Every structure is written in structure tokens, then in C-alpha cells.
Chain A
Amino acid sequence: MAEPPHDRTTQRPDRSPTARLEMTGINVAFGGVTALDDVSLLVEPGQVHGLIGPNGAGKTTMFNVACGLVRPTSGRIVWRGDELRRLRPAQLSKLGIARTLQGVGLFPGMTVLENVMVGAHRHAKAGFFSALFAIPTADKDEERLRRRALDALAELEATEYAGRYPGSLPYPVQKRVALARALVADPELLLLDEPASGLSEDEMHELGELIRTVSSRMSVLLVEHHMDLVMRVCDRITVLDSGRLIAVGTPEEIRADPVVTEAYLGDDVDVDADAAQLASGTEGAHRG
């Protein structure tokens, strides 16, 4: 993964990211329970933005709002200067936003290569009738998508698995394939939902480098439990607690912020502490 990105000059112009995501005053209530209370989030172009908080803080809900899976009761989402109203997940890809799922969410009945090719859906040109009559342009289009998908797999060092089915692959490899499927769409904003879960230290380190690499061509919004990864790769961090925004800042500022420390960074945070905190209910959050 440390390799430089492949030569893609034929496929995309070497651009620097220009699009910014602004979410302001987002409120979400499930039934009577407030999941998000007036939360705002700003992802600048080319930024790696971390979204953190203890379990149940509303990170994933915020994420789901950003991609149309959850509709906020109020609030504005502005992307590239346009307000997104009634956002639906299927529109995301056209808007240049890609997202990975917390699980891996691969298509079990398709090979790794096909999985990634589906990710390139928005770049497909050949339509129904050229496919129906197998007109050569459809073949050419397929070849283009295949090349694109192989490039994405190569960037994630997963080329050797192209012909395998996801179910037969180890979990970390599946995660890499899922990431390739998001990257192949060539998005301007990449939403990563707990990309490091289930990865070893080494793999997490590689993931961090990869995120830094791709941030040269897209913005990244990251929900993650692993503090070391978040602190290492993020330019800016937003901290949620119990559905409210409690801090925004650089990793250094967040690390030094007493409010955050109290809410979240109690001890030396790791997943075990998180799990213990979850098990012992809310008191755990104030333990430190």
C-alpha cells in the first residue's frame, strides 16, 4: 500500500480536491430519543476529518445522515456549494461521494473483481441495448471498467484475489476489497465507517498511509474507534458525545481538550476500554 498511486493519467485528470462538505445544525430523533442534537461538521477539501466519540455518541448516525440513509429532522447539508435536499443513497455516487460500510458489505455472489467493477458503476457508459445485442462498444466499456477495477485492486495490493469470492477471503482482505470498491468510483469525498476494525497493528498502519495517500485527490471523513489511527491520519477531528458536539480541532487540540478527556479519553483508550465502557453503561464514560 506504500506504493505510489498508479498512473491514471488516461482515466482522470490529476486534480486536487475542491469540494467541501458542510453539515449544519443536524438534528435526528428516533421516536422520542434524540440521536443528534444540533451537530455541525465541516470537511474542507482534501482534508482527512475524523469523527469520534464514545459508543452511542451518534457518529454512525451522523454518517448515515451524510449519505442519505437517515433523514435528519432538521439541518442543512451543503456539498460543493449546493444544498442536498431529500438525499438518497443511490445519488451519492453521482455526487462524487463514496462510502464503505461498517461490516464489509461485499457482494457474496460475485468475484472480487466484479465487486470492484460494481463500484465503478457511475463511470459505465454502455447502456441496456448495447448489452442486449453485445455490441462491441459494450465490450470496450467493460474492458475499461475492468482496467479501472484492477488499478484500484492494485493500489490496495489485492490484485491476486481478483478471481476469488469474498466469502473465501480473510477479513482484512475483504476490507481492502471493500475499500477498493469505494475508491474505484473516484470520489471527491470518501466516507470510511470504522475501516480499521478487525485489522492488525501492521495493517492499520498501512491503512493510515493509504488514507494519507488518497487524501491528495479526495477528502476523507472517517469514523473510527482506534485513537492512534485517528490521531495519526486526521487533519481535523470532531468529537461527539451523547448526540452533541463537544469539540472540534486538530489532533493536538483534541488531545489537550479537558472536555474530550473527561467524556472519552479517560485512560489510555483502546477497544477493550470501549467495550468495558459499553458493558458498564454510561458511568464508564466518567470513570477517568
Chain B
Amino acid sequence: MSDLQTPAGAPGAASDDAPSTATAAANASSAGAGGRSFLPKSTLLRHLLVLALCAVLAVLLLEGTERSTNDQISRIAFYAIAAGGLTLLTGLNGQISLGHGALMAVGAYTTALMLDVDGDPLPLAVIFLVAVAVTAVVGAIVGVAAARLHGPYLAGATLALAVGVPGLTLYFSDTLGGEQGINVRAPRAPDWFVEGIEALSGERGQGTKWLAYIAVACLLISYFLLANLMRSRIGRTWRAVRDQEVAAELAGISLGSWRVLAFVVSAAAAGLAGGVLAIVVRLTAPGSFLPVLSLSLLTAIVIGGLGSLFGALLGSVLLVLLPEWARDFGLEVLDMESAQASQAAFVIYGLLLVATMLFAPAGLVGTVRLALLRRRAARAMSRAGGG
């Protein structure tokens, strides 16, 4: 047995393990990590403070940029909402889903159908809540099936969802509009908003701007709620299920129901994202929800850093902006035709993904966190060794 034992405090066994085991974990930082004494101790106050700060930043951003950027921000917002839900599912709970695009479709079609009525539609908040609820129910059904599957089988099953749901819209083309989809009547900005924006920046707060505000508000609220969950016992339990099934079960955690719960929460976020997509794009058509959407979401959370909301946001920003940057780069610097430049965007996107996987497998946020972790471990080791 002597080869097994390592005296406590000896530097031998402890050097490089931390980074290798903590790859996925590094992103989901722990509550007790310390060093946050300047923030309030209460989770609610802390998260509300961050929420308020982000809201101010968002207003500055929306008012400081032009219409087209506002539109980009709206698109980033709905991608980020869905990616936030997905990173909870994949990063915290270890379940992969290639079908979140389909769940977004559920939310989008629910929203589109509820807005497409004669007379005044219900308030948008109510419509979004219904979209979230409907998608959550679909998520629960998928989740029950998913809880029994692992790895490639789960990926396959959810991919089937992504492939199947757009087809469903063609089958029920009478209500769902078939290939053309449903044109969405975007809600009009209320007077107080128009006046408020006019007073704030002198611009007209209608159309795109109103939608951008709705999208960003949805993003902030959903991230606030997701962050609450991730920092709580619920998030910890999800991580336990991800890390060590047997130990989690022995602690009294029923693996299946916690997996389903993660799927439901994640689906709810996707439903909201779909609702926002519907009003921002003003069209709900099967072409918007091809399997590539699900893959893009997965790409976003991997590049950003699994399990991190900030990473999901960062990944979504890249998802929206990178193709456009790449196209501009192709058009202006490389002097390409516009069709060529659009194709080049895909190439650059792919290359970036490969590079991320090679050089920063924990994603952008994860890599930074890992570096911090490593430094902390090294400090702890030197303390133990020296003192």
C-alpha cells in the first residue's frame, strides 16, 4: 500500500490534477470561492445589483448605437437567452442537447399564433409567459426521455427533435403557415416608452428600438433567474449529478428527476428565446429553426465556456457578429465578391471553433478561470510546502 499513500501536504500528487479535472467545472464557479467581500452577502441583493448595473449599461449601449446595431443587439439577446439555458443543461448538468433550436421554434410559434389574432392581442408579457410554459411542458416530455439516455444517444435523440419539428410546421401548414411561416405583428411601443426615449436621447423610440429594449429586458431577466439557480443548492445538485452519479444518488439525489428539472428550465429559456426571436425577426418560419440553429447554440456555449452565463453571452455575441465581421473583412480587405465573402464567413467561424478547441478547450471564460484556479492552487501548494 505504500505506493498509494501520499503524506498530507507533500507536493507530489497534487500538482497538475486540478486543471485536468476541473475543465467543465472551472466555468461554473463556486459560491464559496471568496474574494467578493465588496458585494452584498445576500444573493438576491448581489444579483439585483448586477442586474441594475447591466440594465444601465444596456440602455447606454442601445442609445449610443444606431438602428442597425440595435437590431444586432436584439438578435444577440435571443441567441444569448437560449444559450444561457443550454449552458445550464450542458455545462451544469452534463446533458447535451442538439434540439434546442426546435424548442425555440415551439416558443416562437406560440408567440406568433398568440399575436396573430383579430383585435388586440394579449399583453406581450402574458404571451411570453405562455410561450415559456408551453415550451417547458415540451421540455419536460423530452427531458423524461433524455434522462435515460447518455452521450451520443442523447445527442441523437435531441437531434431528431431538431430535424423533426420544422417538418411538423409543414404538416400542419393550415395553422402554422407551412414553408412561408407566419408573419408576426410586432407589438407597438407604448406612449410612455416613446416619450421616455425622446427625452433621454431625442430619438424616436419605435419599431426596432422598442423591440431591442424588449429583447434586452428578457435577456436580463432570464439571466438573473438562471444565475440565481446556478448559485443555489439547485445548481450544486445539478453539478453533483453531472460529476459523479453514484455519489450523488447516495447523497439522496434522484438522478432522473433532477435531469428532467434541468431540461425543463433549459427549455423554458429556449421558449423565451423563441418568443423574442419571433417579434425581432417578425417572421416565424421553419427556415429559422433548422438543425444548424441548435448546433450554433452549442457552438456558442462551447466557445464562450461551458456552464458560464457570461460565456454564453460572449459566444452569442460572436455568433451574431463574427459572420458579419468576416464578411466585411472578405469584401473590403480580400476584395471578394459578396457571395464569396458570405461563404468565407463560415470558414472563419469554423477555424475559430477549431482553434478554440485546440488552445482553449474550456472556452473563453473557462480558460481565464482555469488560469486563476491554477494560480490559487500553486499559491496554496507553496504555502503548504514552505510553511
Which chain A residues have a beta carbon within 8 Å of chain B's beta carbons? 67, 69, 88-94, 98-99, 101, 105-111, 113-114, 117-119, 121-122, 124, 126, 128, 131-136, 138-139, 141-142, 145-146, 162-173, 181, 185, 197-200, 203, 271
Contact = CB atoms under 8 A, between A and B. Distances in A.
Interface in B114-154: none
A121 B258 CA distance: 13
Interface string B169-210: 000000000000000000000000000000000000000000
A163 to B, nearest CB: 6
27 contacts: A67-B250, A106-B247, A107-B243, A109-B25, A109-B239, A110-B25, A110-B30, A111-B30, A113-B32, A114-B236, A117-B236, A121-B237, A121-B253, A122-B251, A122-B252, A139-B43, A142-B43, A163-B34, A164-B18, A165-B377, A167-B21, A168-B17, A169-B14, A170-B7, A170-B9, A197-B4, A200-B7
A170 B13 contact: yes
A90 B5 contact: no
A109 B232 contact: no
Contacts, number: 180
Contact of A90 (B32, B243, B254): B254
Interface string B313-340: 0000000000000000000000000000
B229 interface: yes
A84 to B, nearest CB: 15
A36 to B, nearest CB: 20
A121 B254 CA distance: 11
B31 A114 contact: yes
Nearest to B4: A198
Contact of A146 (B4, B25, B32): B32
A168 B4 contact: no
A267 B20 CA distance: 42
Given A105-B246, A106-B247, A170-B9, A128 B30 contact: no
A36 B134 CA distance: 50
B228 A132 contact: yes
Contacts of A203: 5
B239 A107 contact: yes
Contacts of A142: 31, 43, 232-233
Nearest to A199: B5
Interface residues of B, number: 59
Given A105-B244, A121-B253, A172 B233 contact: no
B240 A271 contact: no
Contacts of A171: 4-6, 13
A146 B41 CA distance: 14
Nearest to A170: B6
B254 to A, nearest CB: 4
B244 to A, nearest CB: 5
Contact of B18 (A167, A173, A181): A167
A236 to B, nearest CB: 24
A171 B240 CA distance: 20
Given A108-B21, A128-B261, 9 more contacts: A105-B246, A121-B253, A136-B44, A142-B31, A164-B18, A167-B21, A168-B18, A171-B13, A200-B7
A14 B233 CA distance: 27
B10 interface: yes
Interface in B42-62: 42-44, 47
Given A118-B237, A167-B17, A131 B255 contact: no
Instruction: State the 10 A-B residue pairs at the shortest beta-carbon distance, nearest first.
Output: A109-B25, A93-B252, A131-B232, A167-B21, A167-B17, A107-B243, A168-B18, A108-B21, A198-B4, A134-B44
B43 A134 contact: yes
Given A134-B47, A165-B22, A271-B1, A111 B247 contact: no
